[in-house]
Amino acid sequence: MFLRPLQRSIGRVQPLWFSRLYSQTPEEKLVYEKLTRALEPKSLQVIDVSGGCGSMFAIDVISDKFKGMPMVKQHKIVNEVLKDHIKSWHGLQLRTKAQQ
């Protein structure tokens, strides 16, 4: 199935056209929208890596709001935005970066 290669390739940046081929789950859309409103990211990927049950996500975000912040602070900001949802998750793979 198409999702398995996606889950294995989470460590790589996907090309822009890839997002048009991949249909987001409702949970992915909710997380994507919350992060977009809060962080105004230059790049954002939200992928349910739990097989579709919504219990584990891989999030990759690049935002100007992270400029000058250590990675721990960046992660705390994302965790604060998603705190209501994280409570019900089993895990989170989070990569953050300030826009260059």
Q: For the domain that residue 38 is a member of, what is the CATH number?
A: 3.30.300.90
Query: Quick count: other Cβ atoms within 10 Å of Cβ 21?
Result: 10
Tell whether 86 is covered by a domain: yes
Predicted pLDDT of residue 22:
62
Q: Which residue has the tokens 């049950």?
A: 53
Among 37, 53, 35, smallest CA distance to 94 is for 35
pTM for the model: 0.76
Tell whether 21 is covered by a domain: no
Tell whether 7 is covered by a domain: no
Residue 8 pLDDT exceeds 60: no
What's the total number of domains in the chain? 1
Q: Structural domain of residue 47, as residue ranges?
A: 26-98
Output the average pLDDT for the chain.
Answer: 83
